[in-house]
Structure 1
Amino acid sequence: MFRRTFWFGTGMAAGVWATTKVNRKLKQLTPDSLAAAAANKALDAGTRLRDRAVGFAHDVRDNMAQREAELDDALGLNAPVDRELPAPRRHNAIESNPTYVDRTTYSYNRNEDH
């Protein structure tokens, strides 16, 4: 008698377990559940993609700042500034320029040449 009661209880427990498992799977396969699962996966994928894009943007900004610093050093833009002005240069443009032509004798009328 005890043996029959044991197997009867074991069968009932297996039946309850199997029924619960099947009902859960059926609820997961309803259209609403499938749509919710797809939406959750899409949100997760979007979040991962955004995180990667933000990380990429930070990497680009960091590398850009590093390259700008390298270029500034190469061009001497980070060199200390000399506060003294250079000595003024004094040249007479007319006297020092050998190619200067006195244009007062020429007419600027365009129609004269034709």
Structure 2
Amino acid sequence: MALEKIKLFERTRDRWPLNVHIRPKDGVPCFEANPCLVDVYRNIEADCEPTEDWTPEDEWTNLANWAFHQALCLIAESSEEGQLRRDQVTFEMFDKCMKENLWGDDCWIAERVEYEASP
């Protein structure tokens, strides 16, 4: 698969619920979400598990879903009570999370190079 960042973002965004109800709270974590964002992430991850051998596309799917989850959480952490829409996650936010994850550990060197080279 030739990686295209924007298409990866769009495919990832489409897996998430349109809206999540956010309620700030004291402590860690600093918000409650309905549905729970971790549960949504885990369900998406389970739905994307390959039935055959693991492929590079499967790896990108997992990386992208985690980055989208992180971006949603960043928005939720500073939100008032109400609806958080998946469309609030911009490509720029997603891209920043992807880069932070790929540059966070040298085990992602090959993926980092491919991601940087993709349109």
TM bracket, shorter-chain basis: under 0.3
TM-score by length of 2: 0.23
Give the number of the structure with larger relative contact order, counting CA–CA contacts within 8 Å between residues 6 or more apart: 2
Larger helix proportion of the pair: 1
Give the structure with the larger strand fraction: 2
Please tell me whether Structure 1 or Structure 2 has the larger radius of gyration of its CA atoms. Answer: 1
